[in-house]
Amino acid sequence: MRTQICIIGGGPSGLLLSQLLHLKGIDTVVLERRTREYVLGRIRAGVLEFGTVELLREAGLGARMTREGFVHDGTYIALQNRGFRIDFKKHTGKQVMVYGQTEVTADLYDARDGWDAPVFYDVQAVNPQAVDGDAPFVTFLQGGKVHRIDCDYVAGCDGFHGVSRKAIPDDVRREYERVYPFGWLGILSETPPVSDELIYANHPRGFALCSMRNENLSRYYLQCPLDDRVEDWSDDAFWDELKRRIPEDAADTIVTGPSIEKSIAPLRSFVSEPMRWGRLFLVGDAAHIVPPTGAKGLNLAASDVYYLYHALLRHYRDGDDQGLEEYSARALARVWQATRFSWWFTTTMHRFPDQSEFDQRMQETELDFLESSTAAQAALAENYVGLPY
């Protein structure tokens, strides 16, 4: 089989890239190691930057998002049961959209069902080859048979544990990582959200976040030790602890209920350079991971897609390879900016195991400054709604 772009990974970044290229008449094949049902069942972040929303609309995916998503003009920051609001629209003129990654992926699959482009599911032993030459190809195993796809370019959208990043030689690839000494315990409950905007809470007992998916589906998180297990946390214990960490007015009005999903996620900052090797381009989690504080993961993948999509469009439409040559540098510049913001927000809002009284006072002073400084609030808002592409 031959195609123009072989995309490894059938998550939102791979599907979005495929959708955008399809609309411009560029052929793609997508390889996914899981089933479609598994991909659609993954629970992920739900805050979309302004630029991500615009890119999804460009891909023809705006109808349900506009109808069912929640536009947020700001967010709340809480410090030991008192809080203040950051007004995104006032400081930037932009907003964010609360619309779950699961819904984005479903919209992408629904759009793809209307046109003829193959997705190979349940693939194994995926191997991008000859990517540093002029004739790359990808082999994979499906149903006990080896398949080969010849292509012009390979897009590695296969996540942190995928094979694409490892195709870049060890003596070329540089990796930077910070692993945080805590995790996020998250639950999903069929209850109305406690607030019409997100609440980020810094508390001596640890960080907490109140989020939502829709009018009757809420997502809540607690900072927890890395060695905690989901089984250690009953629903009642979770709700009791959440109420201790969020502002009293929210704790007094929150509607609790049984969890329908509960999980613990570790936190890390990770960047791999370069994001291009020959005719292989890394996209999203294949090249970088950020802690969920500030919801940059999916949005960074979308900005990678934006850069690669436009670079490929220039190549096929205009014969201009400048965008392809500059892809890694342009993508990484934005990646590092978002990594800095996520690192800052994480270190400001969480309690660290070795945190001293001095460290705690610095956190408190940082948040006091944020509350009183228009410039600081504008900087947070600018980063939260998304830096320009």
| pLDDT average per 10 residues of sequence, the chain (389 residues) | 96 95 96 82 80 96 93 94 92 95 90 82 95 97 94 97 97 97 96 96 96 90 96 97 96 96 95 98 98 94 98 97 98 98 97 93 95 98 96
- Whole-prediction pTM: 0.95
Alpha-carbon gap, residue 90 to 382, rounded angstroms: 11
Residue 222 lies in a domain: no
Residue 264 lies in a domain: no
Residue 85 lies in a domain: no
The answer to whether 292 is a known catalytic residue is yes
Domain count, the chain: 1
Q: Is residue 106 a contact partner of residue 39, using CB atoms and an 8 Å limit?
A: no
Token reading at 97: 């959209």
Exposure b/e, 275-314, CB count within 10 A at least 16 = b: bbbbbbbbbbbbbbbbbbbbbbbbbbbbbbbbbbbebbbe
pLDDT of residue 117: 73
Q: What is the residue range of 306's domain?
A: 5-43+101-177+269-346
99, 200, 306, 327: the active-site residue? 200
296, 307, 327, 350: the active-site residue? 296
CATH of the domain at 167: 3.50.50.60
The answer to whether 24 is a known catalytic residue is no
The answer to whether 200 is a known catalytic residue is yes
With tokens 């190979």, the residue in question is: 120
The answer to whether 109 is a known catalytic residue is no
Residue 293 lies in a domain: yes
pLDDT of residue 366: 96
pLDDT of residue 44: 67
Give the three-class secondary structure for 6.
Answer: strand
The answer to whether 384 is a known catalytic residue is yes
